[in-house]
A and B are shown apart, each in its own frame.
Chain A
Amino acid sequence: MDLSSSLRAFAPELVLTATIFAVLVADLLMRSRTDRRRTGVLIALSLIGAGGALAWAASLLTRDLTATFSGMLALDPFAQFFRLFFLLVALVALVMAALSDEISRSRLGEYLLLLLTVTLGLTLLSSSKNLLMMYLSLELVSIPSYVLAGFKQGDRRSSEAALKYVIYGGVASGLTLFGFSLLYGLAHTLDVAQVGHQLAALQYGPATLLALVVALVLSLAGFAYKVAGVPFHMWAPDVYEGAPTPFTAFLSVGPKAAGFAVLIRFLLTAFGDPAGATVPWNLILAIMAALTMTVGNLTALVQNNLKRLLAFSSIAHAGYLLMAVAVGSWDAVRAVELYLVFYMLMNLGAFLCVQVVRDRVGSEQMAAYVDLRARSPLLALLLAVFLLSLIGLPPLAGFVGKFYLFAAVLQARSALYYVLALIGVLNSAIALYYYARVLRAMYLEKSPADQLQPSFSLSPATTALLLLLAVPTLLLGIFWFPLADALTGAATLFH
């Protein structure tokens, strides 16, 4: 594909880039205006930009856009799905930021701008098909994220979050880079597809095999860091707790999904079908999946801070997703995509509820949720819907997602996957306990008379956004066929 058609396929990203600059300039030009006026303009600008990019990306859906920019990026259906996904997540995250009290109005411009930059990085990451491009977009996602995690000035936990994020991120990306360099040494190319061909053609002695295993494990570090998979999950709880809530929500969905996108593309193109692969990458991932969900769920059991609890829950969900990645079939890829859509709805919804409670009650602790059903009935009901969906109870979307994941795992019909699926379902039963603790606080408990928590009502914008997330969570749990059918195409067209 030549440059001009490449650019046409790349239009949504260009819109996003233009929006970033527009927000930057508007923020600078309107320094003297009142906060109210300026935030209005900035939010409108970024929403229009991201929305425009989303609309453009949607209009490109039916086109065949394979290799662009001399094979650096692949705008195949797989990447296109993720592009839409990230733009949607970004739209929700932008509105959440606008609704939040945690982002000071005077610095909202910076926040929006950085968030849009991360989004751009995410779309690039999911479409990269070159090791160098993968690394660069990984960094494009990471660096603004460090700033966003520490966005609350003068807040110790936020600064701590940023620092931990930087240190872990630096180490992980260093490991990945080293892994990539070993791969380059073995394959003499940076193009992922070419790497795959070269690796398949290589003569394997013990030394080359060892080098390949080391290269794989090191490369996985950066991706595992993004999806918060064990043992690269340790940053997650502290960062999730310290970062401003709207960013935590974004972090738990956007970069995690991008991590899965690049992981799937990297493994399936460079290392190929797990059945005939030289290195047992599915075994490595299966072990990682089992560890990730078990560690995430068991640690979540003892959390009293809701943001921390949701952080561990999101680690556990990464474990379920890794389980399907380990299978590596097209059905599994579709299951991952479907699950991510459902996960986006329910996780963003749950974090939005946490954000509202934090802003109104001033706490993220379980105690702030006691008897919430009497203090804000609609919020309690919607949070219950999101949590029940996260548990995976029908007829909510989370159940359908889980069903697809387990179906993909069991379809493989081998001992490894039977054991993995068993660990997976037992984990999802354990998970019930900590989600139910929140339900119990909201519906079953009463606060002591001397510690009554305030009642509050929801703003129309918050209610609208919550309903926009909750209604699909319910409806997609009952009828998800059109979505799953559309994703079947997105999962198979890949190269």
Chain B
Amino acid sequence: MDFPQYATTSHLLTWIIFTPLIGVGLILLSLAIKPIFGWSKVVTDTIARGTGLAATAVVFLLAIVLGVGYADQPGELAFVHHFVWIRQFHIEYFVGVDGLNVALILLTALIGLVAMVASLPWGGRIEEGDHPHFSKRRVPGYMALFLILETGILGTFCALDFFLFYVFWELMLLPMYFLIGVWGAPTRVEGPGWIRGGPYAAIKFFLYTLVGSVLMLLAMIMLYYASGPAVLADGTVSEHTFNILYLAQMGQAGHFASAAPILGMAFSKVIFVGLFIGFAIKVPMFPLHTWLPDAHVDAPTPISVILAGLLLKTGGYGILRFNFQILPDAAHWAAIAVAILGAISIVYAAFVCMAQTDLKKLIAYSSVSHMGFVLLGAASFTDLGMNGAMFVMIAHGIISPMLFLIAGVIYDRAHTRDINSFGGLAVKLPEYAGITGLAFMASLGLPGLAGFVGEIMVFLGAYGATQTIFKVIVGVSAFALVITASYYLWAIHRMFLGQFNQKWSGLWDMNWRERFALYPLAVLTVVLGFYPMPVLDLFRNTLGSMAASIAALNLPGL
């Protein structure tokens, strides 16, 4: 097999990935020298916040440079940084941008900055409830973990070496555990033996995702040993490889379809299932989604934003990058199951949303529902469907952070998220009501807003899939749109319309911090709703050719 050499062309990605870690270093340094200069807590807190904001802003600016640079060469592999890391297992440091990850890297930089803005206590008063506000507690720790998390997510999207990918993938877990556990909701008893709250949600998240990732570890090692000889960055021949692009090349040539079976089952199918479980937990797909409502509800607002906006996308990205790109034959085999599970997620979660009275829980379940579109679209193996899946990820990555920020706005003021306790808020908080309306409409898929574009592409793509059953699946899923519209409209009805509840006469409208976080996302939602081409152009070629190559596979016995 001929392997193209991917030579280092730029160090930009490495800077993007590790800039947050430099911030972590500065924060730790400020803590170390704190006693020397006799600084107070206020000084180190301000340094930590400033460093956090600066680091995420630098990442954002570098990402814009990346996006502008990449726009001329869509579909190509660019900004490669590639060298041998550990020779023994042919592990390399290999990062690069191609059609699959470019949009997600840009999204990460944007949402990272937005979540950071939402983590600061500046630009508006914060009224503390009976529990101190997360933005004022143990600030250096929060900022350091936030930045480690950002490095983890960026690395996950950029890595093109499976081992490196795994390291970054696991790096996301630990900061998330602490961010939910320490800065999330305090432990509360909801009934006998029914203890909920940040610590519970954090360990649940950690355990679920770790089970997924250890299965991924096994699949990764098995894939490595089944891979054929390849070359390393320095040109030496390697017996096996972790290089994702080479693995994909081998997979598409049928190398893994014909590998020795595992416990009597076809190799590629076993690997597919192992990887898929790991990614599906992150997506999250029914029935592996139960960690998500807990984690989202009990996490502090900016962390919910990152969870919904970015972490879920790592799952969808993993499925496209690994399951579909490396194991196309098994993807073919599993397509209908994946589509059905996606459809169940869409419909089931929509119904669950109907029953929610907690605003954040409603939004959390709506994420499960929307991420179902990613699975459905990707499994259709049509040009439109796969592009739609990616676009749903981007659109959801913009809209769901808005929704969580909105939930945070009202919680910071009223210290409750119970939808039924509000009423007529539009009178008192017109600006907030407006932006909530926009976000809800975007999420329910109103034409002209970003959410619609992805969903319609998925539906059209899936309808055009070769298997007839997809037409049924699309029909069932489309029904969920009605449910989605009704739970959002009903929520608006209960919160903003009707008789104003005098209990809330002390509330005040949005402040500048919230505007800084929300308006850029709102603008993007509208712009991408009318003109999605700049984003679509980034990945159109890659996903289109991927769909074509999988659909064209003439696979024996599948």
Interface hub of A410, A418, A421 (most chain B Cβ within 10 A): A410
Contact A432 B263 (CB under 8 A): no
Contact B170 A394 (CB under 8 A): yes
CB distance from A440 to the nearest CB of B (A): 6
How far, in angstroms, from A394 to B218 measured CA to CA in the complex?
A: 15
Which one of B89, B182, B207 contacts A433 once the chains associate, using CB atoms below 8 Å?
B207
Determine if B52 is an interface residue (Cβ-Cβ < 8 Å).
Answer: no
CB distance from A23 to the nearest CB of B (A): 39
Contact A429 B207 (CB under 8 A): yes
Across-interface contacts of B225 in A (CB, < 8 A): 407, 410-411, 413
Known contacts A410-B218, A413-B260, A429-B211; A481 and B167 CB within 8 A of each other: no
How far, in angstroms, from A316 to B244 measured CA to CA in the complex?
A: 33
Determine if B178 is an interface residue (Cβ-Cβ < 8 Å).
Answer: yes
Q: Which residue of chain B has the shortest Cβ distance to A377 in the bound complex?
A: B31
Across-interface contacts of A388 in B (CB, < 8 A): 174
Determine if A443 is an interface residue (Cβ-Cβ < 8 Å).
Answer: yes
How far, in angstroms, from A248 to B530 measured CA to CA in the complex?
A: 67
Contact B199 A440 (CB under 8 A): yes
Q: Which residue of chain B has the shortest Cβ distance to A374 in the bound complex?
A: B138
Across-interface contacts of A440 in B (CB, < 8 A): 181, 199, 203
Contact B202 A444 (CB under 8 A): yes
Across-interface contacts of B211 in A (CB, < 8 A): 426, 429
Q: Which residues 401-450 in B have Cβ within 8 Å of A in the complex?
A: none
How far, in angstroms, from A142 to B203 measured CA to CA in the complex?
A: 40
Q: Which residue of chain B has the shortest Cβ distance to A427 in the bound complex?
A: B214
How far, in angstroms, from A388 to B199 measured CA to CA in the complex?
A: 17
Across-interface contacts of A433 in B (CB, < 8 A): 203, 207
Determine if B88 is an interface residue (Cβ-Cβ < 8 Å).
Answer: yes
Contact B218 A436 (CB under 8 A): no
Interface residues on B, range: 20 to 34
Contact B198 A484 (CB under 8 A): no
Determine if B210 is an interface residue (Cβ-Cβ < 8 Å).
Answer: yes
How far, in angstroms, from A419 to B262 measured CA to CA in the complex?
A: 10
Across-interface contacts of B221 in A (CB, < 8 A): 403, 406-407, 410
Q: Which residues 213-255 in B have Cβ within 8 Å of A in the complex?
A: 214-215, 217-218, 221-222, 224-225
Contact A481 B182 (CB under 8 A): no
Determine if A128 is an interface residue (Cβ-Cβ < 8 Å).
Answer: no
Majority-rule SS of B interface residues: helix
Across-interface contacts of A393 in B (CB, < 8 A): 170, 173-174
Contact B203 A403 (CB under 8 A): no
Interface hub of B202, B206, B210, B211 (most chain A Cβ within 10 A): B210
How far, in angstroms, from A393 to B171 measured CA to CA in the complex?
A: 8
CB distance from A33 to the nearest CB of B (A): 39
Contact A395 B171 (CB under 8 A): yes
Contact A484 B174 (CB under 8 A): no
Across-interface contacts of B218 in A (CB, < 8 A): 406, 410, 421-422, 425
Interface Cβ pair total, 8 Å cutoff: 78
Which one of A411, A428, A488 contacts B214 once the chains associate, using CB atoms below 8 Å?
A428
How far, in angstroms, from A161 to B156 measured CA to CA in the complex?
A: 48
Across-interface contacts of B86 in A (CB, < 8 A): 479-481, 484
Contact A436 B215 (CB under 8 A): no
Across-interface contacts of A485 in B (CB, < 8 A): 87-88
Known contacts A433-B203, A436-B206, A484-B88; A418 and B217 CB within 8 A of each other: no
Determine if A399 is an interface residue (Cβ-Cβ < 8 Å).
Answer: yes
How far, in angstroms, from A429 to B209 measured CA to CA in the complex?
A: 9
Across-interface contacts of A418 in B (CB, < 8 A): 262-263
How far, in angstroms, from A263 to B217 measured CA to CA in the complex?
A: 28
Contact B214 A403 (CB under 8 A): no
Known contacts A418-B262, A481-B86; A406 and B170 CB within 8 A of each other: no
Across-interface contacts of A406 in B (CB, < 8 A): 217-218, 221
Contact B206 A443 (CB under 8 A): no
Binary B-proximity of A409-446 (CB < 8 A = 1, otherwise 0) = 01101010011011001101100110010011001110
How far, in angstroms, from A446 to B199 measured CA to CA in the complex?
A: 12
How far, in angstroms, from A422 to B273 measured CA to CA in the complex?
A: 13
How far, in angstroms, from A418 to B271 measured CA to CA in the complex?
A: 12
Contact A399 B203 (CB under 8 A): no
CB distance from B168 to the nearest CB of A (A): 8
Contact A444 B199 (CB under 8 A): yes
Q: Which residues 381-408 in A have Cβ within 8 Å of B in the complex?
A: 388, 393-395, 399, 403, 406-407
Which one of A436, A444, A481, A488 contacts B198 once the chains associate, using CB atoms below 8 Å?
A444
Interface hub of A406, A479, A488 (most chain B Cβ within 10 A): A406
Determine if B177 is an interface residue (Cβ-Cβ < 8 Å).
Answer: yes
Contact B167 A394 (CB under 8 A): yes
Contact A481 B199 (CB under 8 A): no
| Chain A contact residue count (CB 8 A cutoff) | 34
Q: Which residues 166-212 in B have Cβ within 8 Å of A in the complex?
A: 166-167, 170-171, 173-174, 177-178, 181-182, 198-199, 202-203, 206-207, 210-211
Across-interface contacts of B207 in A (CB, < 8 A): 429, 432-433
How far, in angstroms, from A432 to B170 measured CA to CA in the complex?
A: 13
Known contacts A436-B177, A443-B182; A394 and B203 CB within 8 A of each other: no
Q: Which residue of chain B has the shortest Cβ distance to A394 in the bound complex?
A: B167
Q: Which residues 232-250 in A have Cβ within 8 Å of B in the complex?
A: none
Contact A436 B166 (CB under 8 A): no
Across-interface contacts of B210 in A (CB, < 8 A): 429, 432
Across-interface contacts of A429 in B (CB, < 8 A): 207, 210-211, 214
Across-interface contacts of B85 in A (CB, < 8 A): 479
How far, in angstroms, from A415 to B262 measured CA to CA in the complex?
A: 7
Contact B182 A394 (CB under 8 A): no
Q: Which residue of chain A has the shortest Cβ distance to B224 in the bound complex?
A: A407
Which one of B87, B181, B215 contacts A425 once the chains associate, using CB atoms below 8 Å?
B215
CB distance from B20 to the nearest CB of A (A): 15
Across-interface contacts of A484 in B (CB, < 8 A): 86, 88
Contact A426 B214 (CB under 8 A): yes
How far, in angstroms, from A432 to B260 measured CA to CA in the complex?
A: 33
CB distance from B236 to the nearest CB of A (A): 14
Contact A481 B214 (CB under 8 A): no
Across-interface contacts of B214 in A (CB, < 8 A): 425-426, 428-429
Q: Which residue of chain A has the shortest Cβ distance to B181 in the bound complex?
A: A444
How far, in angstroms, from A76 to B194 measured CA to CA in the complex?
A: 59
CB distance from A27 to the nearest CB of B (A): 41
Binary B-proximity of A274-311 (CB < 8 A = 1, otherwise 0) = 00000000000000000000000000000000000000
How far, in angstroms, from A272 to B85 measured CA to CA in the complex?
A: 35
How far, in angstroms, from A481 to B90 measured CA to CA in the complex?
A: 11
How far, in angstroms, from A394 to B174 measured CA to CA in the complex?
A: 10
Across-interface contacts of B166 in A (CB, < 8 A): 394
How far, in angstroms, from A403 to B163 measured CA to CA in the complex?
A: 10
CB distance from A182 to the nearest CB of B (A): 36
Contact A407 B203 (CB under 8 A): no
CB distance from A38 to the nearest CB of B (A): 36
How far, in angstroms, from A439 to B85 measured CA to CA in the complex?
A: 31
CB distance from A373 to the nearest CB of B (A): 8
Contact B178 A443 (CB under 8 A): yes
How far, in angstroms, from A406 to B86 measured CA to CA in the complex?
A: 17
CB distance from A105 to the nearest CB of B (A): 32
Across-interface contacts of B167 in A (CB, < 8 A): 394-395, 399
Contact B260 A407 (CB under 8 A): no
Known contacts A426-B211, A433-B207, A444-B182; A481 and B88 CB within 8 A of each other: yes
Given contacts A403-B221, A425-B215, 13 further A-B contacts (CB under 8 A): A388-B174, A393-B174, A394-B167, A410-B225, A428-B214, A432-B206, A432-B207, A436-B177, A443-B181, A444-B198, A444-B202, A485-B88, A488-B88
Closest 9 A/B residue pairs (Cβ): A425-B214, A394-B167, A444-B181, A429-B211, A444-B199, A410-B221, A481-B86, A394-B170, A429-B210
Residues of B within 8 A of A (CB): 85-89, 166-167, 170-171, 173-174, 177-178, 181-182, 198-199, 202-203, 206-207, 210-211, 214-215, 217-218, 221-222, 224-225, 260, 262-263
- Give 21 pairs: A residue, B residue, CB < 8 Å, sorted on A: A394-B170, A394-B171, A395-B167, A399-B167, A406-B221, A407-B221, A413-B260, A418-B262, A425-B214, A425-B217, A426-B214, A429-B210, A429-B211, A432-B206, A433-B203, A439-B177, A440-B203, A443-B181, A444-B178, A481-B86, A481-B87
